[in-house]
Amino acid sequence: MEQFLYYLKVSFTSIKRAPLPYALTILILSLGIGVFFANATLYYQLNSDPLPHKSDKLFFPMTRMMPHQCHDCPPPRILSYVNVQKLSATEIPTAKAAMYSTDGYLRLDSTKAPTPVSVRLTQPDFFRMFDVPMLHGSVWQDAKARQELILAKQMAEKIFGRSNVVGEKVLLDDRYYTVIGVLDDWRMLPRLYDANNHNYVEDTEQVFMPLETGYDYNYLSNTQSHTMDDTDFRQLATQGRTGALHQLQFWVQLDSPQQQQSYRQFMANLVAAEQKAGRHPSMPNNQLIPMRDIIQYFGGGSADIKAFALVTLLFLGVCLLNASHLSLNRYLSNQYEFSLRRALGASRLQLQQQILADVLLMTLCCALCGMGIAWGGIELLNYLWPANRLFGRWDPTLVAALFVLTLSASYLVTLYPSLRASFGGLNQQLKE
């Protein structure tokens, strides 16, 4: 420890001898690291796996069951109520849930000001499929229609002033519902259970309603819906359950390869039976997309973020080259000191330890400055792409990656000077 403190003292002396080159090195290196890390943060968060332990077991089934002829079109990304019922008519999946989202206004009673809320209309298996934690109460016992809601913790606290509101009544739009559950703090980012139309960058819903209740009360999807026949959008309770009105997303959990193969065969048999009955004339095109690939399949990856990632990586490389040049100038100004230490018997290992202390000092300075620049870069990216604002956050993994990146960059910057200091010709160095 005493030797390390001595090396730090020598590093400070070297900095005092040439403060401007050292400050410029820190500035250039911090700028490159900060700009790169700001973009890397968004790229990492947007491409992270929110359920790494089961993302390969959750699947999005799609099939080309449509009432009209289509040979080259992909299967619809959203399904009709009828098709969801057909895809659900098997016990092969461990869990299954249909869903869509809508908007509403929530309040305690008609005398209170309404609060705009996003509503997820779904089925009970949704909560165990996507590991949604419950703080109070429970989910619905079955998939039937009922006047019951589940609230997010933040919404319960906003409306009632507390989180434990199980059994309380709340007014959603113009109907009263009983709160049967309150979610714990939960936010799936990216929101892969709703990856269509870039919805995966949106925040988690505040209210959860039974799917059948939503159809009974004619709640239309707020993201995407279309009809392939003359179904009336205003008649979800009747025509929406029988016509070709597509607005549902459907997920199944298949835990084993055997289940996955069995469900694929089930889909193939279902389409064959539908074609035989003359209901769907298009050629079969069944897809079973795992959750981890859903964004890529829908073509939802942000090309802008990828382009900026490449540009900022190149910018980091340029900053490393410039910082290395400045570091070499610092070495040249201190070359006689290194040479004299070698002449007095210092080993190459001791010289490397001296330079390592300098690297650690540079890493600390660059990490602090780089974090400030990265924060500013994230705020700029959030301004340019407001939809990605939820992803401009750091976790322990990212912070650790920042320090590893800074340490590696600092070492690369001093690599060539350290090699010259340790392995250069001593006689030539003393003459210089």
pLDDT tens digit sequence for 327-365: 776 666 566 566 556 555 555 566 666 667 777 778 888
* Banded pLDDT at 20 (limits 50, 70, 90): confident
pLDDT grade, residue 148 (50/70/90)?
very high
> What's the mean pLDDT in 110-135?
94
pLDDT at 89: 93
Which one-letter amino acid corresponds to residue 106? L
At residue 426, the pLDDT reads 46
Query: Residue 430's pLDDT is what?
Result: 45
pLDDT class of 132 with cuts at 50, 70, 90? very high
Name the pairing type of β-strands 58-62 and 134-137: unpaired
- Cβ count within 10 A of residue 132: 19
pLDDT at 422 over 60: no
Q: How far is CA 38 from the centre of its chain?
A: 15
Rounded to whole angstroms, the Cα distance separating 383 from 38 reads 13
Q: Which residues pair with 101 in a beta bridge?
A: 120
Mean confidence (pLDDT) of the chain: 84
How many percent of the chain have pLDDT more than 90? 39
Helix intervals (H) in 185-228: 211-216
d(CA 113, CA 208): 20
* Omega within 30 of 0 (cis) for the link into 93: no
Lowest mean per-residue pLDDT among 17-31, 142-156, 265-279: 17-31
Average pLDDT over residues 38-63: 89
Question: Mapping DSSP to helix (H, G, I), strand (E, B) and coil, where does residue 225 land?
Answer: coil
**β-pair type (245-253, 79-80):** antiparallel
Nearest to 324, CA basis, from 246, 416, 387: 416
Residues 6+ apart with CB under 8 A from 99: 120, 121, 122, 123, 126, 193, 194, 211, 248, 249, 250, 251
Strand boundaries in 225-336, DSSP class E = 226-227, 245-253, 287-290
Residue 208 and residue 123 in contact, taking contact as beta carbons nearer than 8 Å: no
| Of 14 and 358, the one with more pLDDT | 358
pLDDT at 179: 96
Mean of pLDDT values over 279-284? 76
pLDDT per residue over 294-331, tens digit each? 888 887 666 667 777 788 889 988 988 888 887 776 66
Q: What are the structure tokens assigned to 316, written together?
A: 């980091």
CA dist 33 to 316, 417, 418, Å? 6, 21, 22
Residues 185-212: pLDDT tens digits?
Answer: 998 988 999 988 778 888 899 999 999 9
Contact in structure between 274 and 67 (CB atoms under 8 Å): no
- The vertex-145 CA angle with 139 and 146, nearest 5°, equals 65
**pLDDT at site 1:** 62
Pairing of strands 245-253, 115-122: unpaired
If pLDDT is split at 50, 70 and 90, which confidence band does 51 have? Answer: very high
Looking at per-residue pLDDT, the higher value among 61 and 275 belongs to: 61
From CA 142, how far away is CA 380, in angstroms rounded?
46
Better-predicted residue by pLDDT, 22 or 408: 408
| Local confidence band at 163 (pLDDT 50, 70, 90 cut-offs) | very high
What would the mean pLDDT of 67-86 be, rounded to a whole number? Answer: 84
Mean pLDDT of 64-86: 83
